[in-house]
């Protein structure tokens, strides 16, 4: 089978990385593609990680290769078991499987240490007595070469002895490091005798107290790739300058394979953030309800909001993979989501801001079960019954006492169609004597229009949704909007307070909503289109039988594009 033929539907067009992989297979350089997704277990995965997951797993899948899941757990201080488990859950949810290829950088601690001893023996690494801070200060900068460490000329035996004692715990944290002996005047700062090991007397979530020296990412990562026989080590652009060091570590010793590092541009998305540190700040300051707040770009947040893995994969296919830094539109992600939800979600009726309607000429004792179509484009989804009686709820917004031009919905004397039901005409308005607000609409119905059509050909200009007041289930509904303004998160300064950037309209909670009775059986995570209101899912955390909570996943159309057009700022 050709590579093309294997491509999953959401793989998107080819890209430069897929071209490289295909050329390597064709030339026989590799018999099989082996990639890896290497998260550090210090936070939850976000949509940026999804881009990397789709690329790494997708590339392997399309070419009959394998993709490893490797936890880059070299920093004992910030890492937790909780993150490891959530990452596995999220990768699976996205639809990918590492099978038995689950690895931890910490499993290589012994092997990495042996490799380091080998470099010391070759005179390619030395123990440096300078503090970690001093090493940093002596690195120089782009205009100034670094200062060589006084320990650089240390003999092999002394280095071996000191490294052994570092490992044995004889020295305090940060007092010594093991450094690669490369070039303190290299124009590439990463090559200026980088630190390979630092002392950190902290227990590790997998190796416990066994180690008090831990390898640096730049050292552990290329060798972990080499140990696993990774063919293409795909990472984001910030690692481009690290590539010479990546290659140096692999070439300096007896590494079992030679992976190739390839960089691509990370995903940036309008109106949201990808930095784990900033996301953590939102959580810790209570600006959002947690990592799974439905406004968060985390996979748990998106999942709780009602996103489907298919929509996220389609989005990753649509944005493609390049080397040009860019900012993708949230609107594109939402479009991918609508495409998917439109196809799969059954339609139901729910009233978000209800106002009561009494049908004066409808008998008090009668309840009719009317047929409603579950999906207009997919007859296989069938029909359901919705109860209709004398008392209903409709959207308060679907009524205007004094309708402006082009408002075709309910108004005094105006007739509209109730979806799947009858034509009704507003014949009176009852107001709250205290507030003067509309408390109830009095209507009449035309029994000849059952099902929503008129035998005399009489036309109405609007169809509105409704629920039976006697049968509807109460619900709380949360409407979401962009988490952050401005659109470009690049404009948010580092380290500053995020509060001024949080969109105050990002969450609106509506209590007292009413949904059609079929929703009483809803299960957490179930999704629907609420007719005319958008796509919604039952919240997996706050919803209980008898106290339903729905999240609006996305509106039916991109209201932002519309607003921008009206204001003349859009395309
Ligand atoms: P931090 O926020 O701490 O810098 P990170 O986002 O790099 O962390 P890792 O756990 O190291 O998080 O990331 C795992 C993999 O996901 C890496 O290969 C990284 O390049 C990739 N990745 C992270 N963020 C993005 C992004 N926005 N777009 C594409 N890939 C990303
Ligand atoms: Mg990282």
Q: Which ligand lies nearest the alpha carbon of 42?
A: 1
Phi-psi sector, 238: left (phi>0), alpha (psi -120 to 50), beta: alpha
Which domains, ranges and CATH numbers included, belong to the chain?
A: 1-266 (3.40.50.620), 270-347+474-571 (2.40.240.10), 350-465 (2.40.240.10)
Please give the pLDDT value at position 10: 60
Whether 459 is catalytic is no
Q: What pairing do the DSSP bridges indicate for beta strands 368-373 and 507-515?
A: unpaired
Q: Give the nearest ligand 1 atom to 52 CA.
A: 30
pLDDT in tens for each of the 571 residues of the chain?
Answer: 344 444 555 655 689 999 999 999 999 999 999 999 999 999 999 999 999 999 999 999 999 999 999 999 999 988 788 999 999 999 999 999 999 999 999 999 999 999 999 999 999 999 999 998 999 999 999 999 999 999 999 999 999 999 999 999 999 999 999 999 999 999 999 999 999 999 999 999 999 999 999 999 999 999 999 999 999 999 999 999 999 999 999 999 999 999 999 999 999 999 999 999 899 999 999 999 999 999 999 999 999 999 999 999 999 999 999 999 999 999 999 999 999 999 999 999 999 999 999 999 999 999 999 999 999 999 999 999 999 999 999 999 999 999 999 999 999 999 999 999 999 999 999 999 999 999 999 999 999 999 988 999 999 999 999 999 999 999 999 999 999 998 999 888 877 789 999 999 999 999 999 999 999 999 999 999 999 999 999 999 999 988 999 999 999 987 544 444 444 333 3
Which residue has 């601690």 as its token pair?
A: 109
Q: DSSP characters for 423-454?
A: EEEEEEEEE-TTT--EEEEEEEEEGGGTTS--
- Can you tell me the distance from the alpha carbon of 539 to that of 530, in angstroms, rounded to the nearest whole number? 15
- The Cα-based distances of 469 to 361, 418, 445, 498, 519 in angstroms read 16, 14, 16, 43, 14
Whether 458 is catalytic is no
- Can you tell me the distance from the alpha carbon of 534 to that of 341, in angstroms, rounded to the nearest whole number? 10
Check 134, 266, 353, 442 and give the catalytic one: 266
Buried b / exposed e across 369-395, counting CB within 10 Å, b at 16+?
A: ebebbbbeeeeeeeebebbbbbbbbbb
Whether 276 is catalytic is yes
- Can you tell me the distance from the alpha carbon of 31 to that of 15, in angstroms, rounded to the nearest whole number? 20
Residue to mutate, 75, 236, 237, 328, ligand 1, most ligand atoms under 8 Å from C-beta: 236
Please give the pLDDT value at position 5: 41
DSSP three-state, residue 69: strand
Q: Identify which of 205, 235, 207 has the alpha carbon closest to the alpha carbon of residue 221.
A: 235
Please give the pLDDT value at position 502: 95
Output the pTM of the full model. 0.94
Please give the pLDDT value at position 11: 57
- The Cα-based distances of 4 to 1, 12, 192, 232, 505 in angstroms read 8, 11, 44, 19, 45
Q: Tell me, what DSSP letter sits at residue 373? A: E
Check 179, 276, 409, 417 and give the catalytic one: 276
Q: Which ligand lies nearest the alpha carbon of 38?
A: 1
- Can you tell me the distance from the alpha carbon of 20 to that of 260, in angstroms, rounded to the nearest whole number? 10
The residues facing 178 across adjacent strands are: 127, 197
Please give the pLDDT value at position 12: 56
Please give the pLDDT value at position 571: 35
Q: What pairing do the DSSP bridges indicate for beta strands 423-431 and 391-395?
A: unpaired
């Amino acid at each position: 089978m050709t590579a093309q033929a294997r491509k999953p539907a959401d793989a998107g067009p080819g890209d430069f990385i897929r071209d490289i992989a295909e050329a390597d297979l064709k030339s026989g350089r590799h018999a099989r593609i082996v990639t890896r997704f290497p998260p550090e277990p210090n936070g939850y995965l976000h949509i940026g990680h999804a881009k990397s997951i789709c690329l790494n797993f997708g590339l392997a899948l399309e070419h009959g290769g394998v993709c490893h899941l490797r936890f880059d757990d070299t920093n004992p201080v910030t890492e937790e078991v909780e993150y490891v488990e959530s990452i596995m859950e999220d990768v699976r949810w996205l639809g990918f499987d590492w099978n038995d290829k689950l690895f931890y950088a910490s499993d290589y601690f012994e092997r990495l240490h042996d490799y380091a001893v080998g470099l010391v023996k070759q005179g390619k690494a030395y123990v440096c007595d300078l503090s970690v801070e001093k090493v940093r200060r002596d690195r120089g900068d782009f205009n100034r070469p670094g200062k060589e460490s006084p320990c650089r000329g240390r003999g092999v035996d002394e280095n071996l002895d000191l490294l052994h004692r570092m490992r044995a715990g004889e020295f305090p944290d940060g007092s010594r490091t093991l450094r690669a002996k490369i070039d303190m005047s290299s124009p590439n700062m990463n090559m200026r005798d980088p630190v390979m090991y630092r002392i950190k007397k902290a227990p590790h979530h997998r190796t416990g107290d066994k180690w008090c020296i831990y390898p640096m990412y730049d050292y552990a990562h290329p060798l972990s790739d080499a140990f696993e026989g990774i063919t293409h080590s795909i990472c984001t652009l910030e690692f481009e300058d690290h590539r010479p060091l990546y290659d140096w570590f692999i070439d300096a010793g007896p590494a079992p394979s030679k992976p190739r590092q390839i960089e691509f541009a990370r995903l940036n998305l309008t109106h949201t953030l990808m930095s784990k540190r900033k996301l953590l700040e939102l959580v810790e300051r209570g600006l959002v309800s947690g990592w799974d707040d439905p406004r968060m770009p985390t996979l748990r947040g998106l999942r709780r909001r009602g996103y489907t893995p298919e929509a996220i994969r389609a989005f990753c296919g649509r944005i493609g993979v390049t080397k040009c830094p860019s900012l993708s539109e949230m609107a594109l992600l939402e479009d991918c989501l609508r495409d998917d939800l439109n196809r799969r979600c059954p339609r139901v009726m729910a009233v978000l801001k209800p106002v009561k309607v009494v049908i004066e000429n409808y008998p008090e004792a009668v309840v009719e079960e009317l047929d409603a179509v579950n999906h207009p484009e997919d007859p296989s989804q069938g029909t359901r019954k919705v109860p209709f009686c004398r008392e209903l709820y409709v959207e308060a917004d679907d009524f205007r006492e004094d309708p402006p031009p082009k408002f075709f919905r309910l108004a005094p004397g105006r007739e509209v169609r109730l979806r799947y039901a009858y034509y009704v005409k507003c014949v009176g308005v009852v107001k709250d004597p205290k507030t003067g607000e509309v408390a109830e609409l009095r209507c009449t119905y035309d029994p000849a229009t059952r099902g929503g059509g008129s035998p005399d050909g009489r036309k109405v200009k609007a169809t509105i949704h409704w629920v039976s007041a006697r049968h509807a289930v109460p619900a709380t509904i949360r409407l979401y909007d962009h988490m952050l303004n401005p659109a470009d998160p690049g404009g948010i300064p580092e380290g500053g307070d995020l509060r001024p950037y949080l969109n105050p309209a990002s969450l609106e909670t509506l209590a007292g909503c009413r949904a059609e009775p079929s929703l009483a059986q809803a299960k957490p995570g179930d999704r629907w289109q609420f007719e005319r209101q958008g796509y919604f899912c039952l919240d997996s955390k706050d919803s209980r039988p008898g106290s339903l909570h729905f999240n609006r996943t996305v509106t039916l159309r991109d209201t932002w594009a519309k607003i921008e057009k009206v204001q003349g700022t859009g395309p």
